[in-house]
Amino acid sequence: MHESCGIFGVYAPSEDVARLTFFALFALQHRGQESAGIATTDGKKLRVYANMGLVSQVFSEDSLSQLTGDIAIGHNRYSTRGSSRIANTQPILVGKGSSTMAIAHNGNIINAEHLYEELSEQGYVFHTSTDTEVIANLILSSPEKDWLNKIRYAMHRLQGAYSLTIMTNHALYGVRDPFGVRPLCLGAIDGGYVIASESCALDHIGASFTREIEPGEIVSITDNGIDSYPGEGSKRGLCIFEYIYFARPDSVINGRLLYPARQAMGEGLAEEYPVDADLVMGIPDSATAAGIGYSHRSEIPLGEGLLKNRYVGRTFIEPDQRIRDLGVKLKFNPLPQMLNGKRLVVVDDSIVRGTTTPQVVKLLRRAGTKEVHMRICAPPIRYPCFFGVDMATRRELIAAQKTVPEIRDFIGADSLGYLSVDGLIKAVALPKDIFCMACFTGDYPIPVQLEMDKLALEAMSVD
C-alpha cells in the first residue's frame, strides 16, 4: 500500500531555499519514491527542476545551484492518478507572466475528470495526466483578481483530498482540504516560514514546529508576514493510516507522536488477541514499534526474526524471473538461529491484497518457526480508498472477499488477529470523529458516489 506524495514549501529570503527543500524532501522520502522536484522563485522568474527517481538521485550540486530565490516548494511523488512518467513529475508550473504559479499536491481529487472536461472546453490545454494540473488550471480559470480568492474559488469546486503548497513570484501558500484528509504543518526557520507534510521534515532542517494547518485553512506568506484564512465546515476526515503506517514514527500529527501511538496498537493487539508464544517480532520498519508494544503488554520476549534490506526503494530495473520468484526475499532475510523451533507472534501494519503476507509466513516457516501468529494493527480493509492511497479495488481486497478464518488459512498462519476499530482509536488517543476510517467501515467523509458508481459498472462488466 502506498501513500501518494510528500510536499514542502519554504519562504526564507536569507536562506538557500533550494537546499533546505532538498533536505526536507529527503526526510519525506517515505511518502513517495517515484520522482522528486523543486521549484524556486527570485521574485521575477519561477524555475523548476524535477526528474524520476529518489531525491538523492534527482538532484546534484549543479542542479540545486540553478534553483535560486527566496521561496521554494518541493514534491516527492508516488503516482496514484496519472501514470508514472517524467511529464507527471511535480511541482507543476502553469500560467504566464505575472499569473505564473507552481503547485505541489498530496491527495486525490474525486471530481477531477469532470473538471478536466469543463476546463478543456474552456480552452485549457493539459500537459500531464495528473489531477494536480486540474487544480492548477482551476485556480487560473477563476474570475477572481487575486491569488487568495482564486485559490478559494478552486476550493469551492474541488472534491476530494488535497494538501497543497503553491508558489507565485511573491508568495507561498499552504492549503488543506476542508476534511483535512492528508496532514500539513507549519513551522518557522531563521527569518522565514516552512510548510511540510510531516513535522519530521522540519526537524531535519532545523525548523521549529508551529502548528498544524487546519482543515480548510489557507496560509499565505509574503514579505508582509504570515496570514491565515480559516475554512468552513466541521466534518473532519484525517486518514487514520497516517498513524498506522504512512507517516514517520518521529512525526507529530495532532499533537500525538506516532511512535507511542504505534506501540499502543501493539499493546491493544496483545489485549485483544493473547496467545502462548516464545517470541514477538514486528515486521520492520513499519510495525517495529507495535511489536515492542505487544511484547511489553504480553511479557513475551521481543526479538528480530527478519532483517530488512533498507535500501530497497522503487527501482526501474526489472528483476528477472528467478529474482522475482524470490518475492519478499529481496526485501527480507530471515534469521534461522533466532526462529528455529519458536512459537512466534508477528505484528504487521496491515493486510491489503494478501499477496505479501503468505510469502512472509512461508519465509518464517522455512527458517524453522514452529508456529506463526499474525497480529495486524489495521482492522480488516474491506472498502477501497478514493483519497490518494494506492490500495486496491474492492475485488482485490482480501478482507472484502474472505472471512478472518479464511484469510488465516490463505496466509498459512496458525492464528490471525486484527486490531478492532475501537482498539485502534484507543491507541491513537484522539477523538474518533476527526478521522477517515472509510476503508474499514465504508463510511466516507466526502461523497464518493460518482466513483462508487463507476466501480459498480466495472464490476458488472467483469462479472
Report if residue 124 touches ligand SF4, rule: CB under 6 A. Answer: no
Stretch touching ligand SF4 by CB under 6 A, among 84-92, 238-246, 313-321, 365-373: 238-246
Q: Which of 5, 185, 200, 439 is catalytic?
A: 5
The secondary structure element, H or E, covering residue 140 is: helix 131-141
Interacting residue with ligand SF4 among 438, 446, 448, 451 (CB under 6 A): 438
Kindly tell me which of 92 and 391 has the beta carbon lying closer to ligand SF4.
391
# residues contacting ligand SF4 (CB under 6 A): 11
Kindly tell me which of 64 and 434 has the beta carbon lying closer to ligand SF4.
434
Bridge partners of residue 280, in order along the sequence: 302, 345
- Burial class (CB within 10 angstroms; exposed 0-12, middle 13-18, buried 19+) of 452: middle
Stretch touching ligand SF4 by CB under 6 A, among 14-22, 117-125, 237-245, 299-307: 237-245
Tell me the closest approach of the beta carbon of residue 328 to ligand SF4, in angstroms: 22
Q: State how beta strands 208-212 and 185-189 pair.
A: antiparallel
Tell me the closest approach of the beta carbon of residue 240 to ligand SF4, in angstroms: 5
Stretch touching ligand SF4 by CB under 6 A, among 55-63, 119-127, 256-264, 436-444: 436-444
Please report where in the chains the cell 514452529 appears, as a residue.
370
Q: Which phi and psi angles does 362 have, rounded to 5°?
A: -60, -40
- Burial class (CB within 10 angstroms; exposed 0-12, middle 13-18, buried 19+) of 215: buried
Kindly tell me which of 20 and 181 has the beta carbon lying closer to ligand SF4.
181
Stretch touching ligand SF4 by CB under 6 A, among 111-119, 129-137, 325-333, 381-389: 381-389
Tell me the closest approach of the beta carbon of residue 31 to ligand SF4, in angstroms: 13
Report if residue 332 touches ligand SF4, rule: CB under 6 A. Answer: no
- Burial class (CB within 10 angstroms; exposed 0-12, middle 13-18, buried 19+) of 65: exposed
Kindly tell me which of 164 and 438 has the beta carbon lying closer to ligand SF4.
438
CA pair distance 425, 430, nearest whole angstrom: 7
Stretch touching ligand SF4 by CB under 6 A, among 66-74, 206-214, 395-403, 437-445: 437-445
CA pair distance 247, 180, nearest whole angstrom: 15
Interacting residue with ligand SF4 among 166, 239, 283, 399 (CB under 6 A): 239
Count CA within 13 A, CB hemisphere, residue 330. 16
Using left for φ > 0, alpha for ψ between -120 and 50, and beta otherwise, residue 421 falls in: alpha
Interacting residue with ligand SF4 among 101, 181, 205, 361 (CB under 6 A): 181
Kindly tell me which of 193 and 241 has the beta carbon lying closer to ligand SF4.
241
Kindly tell me which of 8 and 440 has the beta carbon lying closer to ligand SF4.
440
Report if residue 116 touches ligand SF4, rule: CB under 6 A. Answer: no
Tell me the closest approach of the beta carbon of residue 390 to ligand SF4, in angstroms: 10
Kindly tell me which of 26 and 243 has the beta carbon lying closer to ligand SF4.
243
Q: Cell digits for 225? A: 508576514
Tell me the closest approach of the beta carbon of residue 74 to ligand SF4, in angstroms: 23
Report if residue 437 touches ligand SF4, rule: CB under 6 A. Answer: yes
CA distances from 35 to 87, 98, 196, 397, 456 (A): 10, 28, 17, 27, 32
Kindly tell me which of 253 and 339 has the beta carbon lying closer to ligand SF4.
253
Using left for φ > 0, alpha for ψ between -120 and 50, and beta otherwise, residue 15 falls in: beta
The verdict on whether 239 is a catalytic residue reads no
Report if residue 387 touches ligand SF4, rule: CB under 6 A. Answer: yes
Report if residue 427 touches ligand SF4, rule: CB under 6 A. Answer: no
Report if residue 385 touches ligand SF4, rule: CB under 6 A. Answer: yes
Report if residue 411 touches ligand SF4, rule: CB under 6 A. Answer: no
Interacting residue with ligand SF4 among 101, 240, 247, 270 (CB under 6 A): 240
CA pair distance 394, 386, nearest whole angstrom: 11
Return the residues of window 287-316 that contact ligand SF4 according to CB under 6 A. Answer: none
Report if residue 261 touches ligand SF4, rule: CB under 6 A. Answer: no
Query: Helix, strand, or coil here: 353?
Result: coil
Report if residue 26 touches ligand SF4, rule: CB under 6 A. Answer: no
Q: How many CB atoms lie within 10 A of CB 224?
A: 9
Q: How many CB atoms lie within 10 A of CB 328?
A: 18
Stretch touching ligand SF4 by CB under 6 A, among 239-247, 254-262, 363-371, 419-427: 239-247
Interacting residue with ligand SF4 among 92, 202, 436, 448 (CB under 6 A): 436
Report if residue 93 touches ligand SF4, rule: CB under 6 A. Answer: no
Q: Cell digits for 367? A: 527458517
Query: Of all residues in the chain, what percent are helix, strand and coil, respectively (each to 5)?
Result: 35, 25, 40
Q: DSSP letters along 148-171, please?
A: HHHHHHHHHH--EEEEEEEE-SS-
Cβ(300)–Cβ(282) below 8 Å = no
Using alpha carbons only, what angle is made at residue 311 by residues 372 and 367, rounded to the nearest 5 degrees?
25
Active site positions, annotated = 5
Binding residues vs ligand SF4 (CB under 6 A): 181, 239-241, 385, 387, 389, 436-439
